[in-house]
Amino acid sequence: MTDDIEFVPCHSANYGGMRLASDVRWLVYHYTGNDGDSAANNAAYYARTVVKASAHYFVDDGGVTRSVPDLYVAWAVGGQKWSDCDRTGGGTLYGVVTNANSISIELCDTRRDGALMASEATLENAVELGRMLMRRYGIPIGRVVRHFDVTGKHCPAYFMDDARWAAFKAQLAAPEGAAQARFQTVAEIGARAPWALATVEKLTARGAVNGTGAGLDLSGDMLRTLVIADRAGAFQ
């Protein structure tokens, strides 16, 4: 996916000047807030429309579209701190994470279904992109944040759920090749794939997942499938 990133240049009035690679210290995830859209359509909008705002990347089911080059400043996390931060817990990094020191990734919502939520395919692409940028700029997992953490904006709204956000970050932090890894015990899943722990605990308690004589014998791909089904309400 990251080997074939399309570039649709953002309108020059929507972003700022150049910076050094050493200035990039944070990675910020956002969502478009649209019910049914695509990376290409979003990038095309910012290419033709002056809105004084931007993001470096848009991600959807099919892949990634770059809008602003990494070493230019996107106008993505500026603005005032939201007034409800005391209630929501957002805005804790206000003034710390800035447009000048961060790269912003926007998650699209490819399904027009009345629910604002990125698909699993989009999230997988967002993980792959995030890992690439973390490697390129030496960004540790502790400096991967939500727009919500910066200004308190409800963005991405579905990642305001701390457990869901923690599960996503666990996938970002997982080593390459984790999809093919095998997991034999619940404890092993808790240590190596904590994003899947709640689902596996639920299914083992019901006897729905027992594994073989050697253990659970679940692969990373199997865990992901179970978690997707759980989030969709299959195991209520």
Q: What is the mean pLDDT of the chain?
A: 90
Domain ranges in the chain are 6-173, 178-231
% residues pLDDT > 70 (the chain): 94
Omega before 156 within 30 of 0, i.e. cis: yes
* Cα 80 → chain centroid: 23
Over residues 67-94, the mean pLDDT reads 97
6-173 belongs to which CATH class?
alpha beta
3-state SS string for the chain: CCCCCEECCCCHHHEEEECCHHHCCEEEEEECCCCCCCHHHHHHHHHHCCCCCCCCEEEECCEEEECCCCCEEECCCCCCCCCCHHHHCCCCCECCECHHHEEEEEECCCCCCCCCCCCHHHHHHHHHHHHHHHHHHCCCHHHEEEHHHHHCCCCCHHHHCHHHHHHHHHHHHCCCCHHHCEECCHHHHHHHCHHHHHHHHHHHHCCCCCCECCECCEEHHHHHHHHHHHHCCCCC
pTM: 0.79
Residues with Cβ within 8 Å of residue 173, at least 6 apart in sequence: 141
In the predicted structure, residue 3 carries a pLDDT above the cut 90: no
Confidence check: pLDDT of 232 > 90? no
- For the residues 177-189, what does the mean pLDDT come to? 77
Predicted confidence band at 2 (pLDDT cuts at 50, 70, 90)?
Answer: low
Is residue 122 predicted with pLDDT exceeding 70? Answer: yes
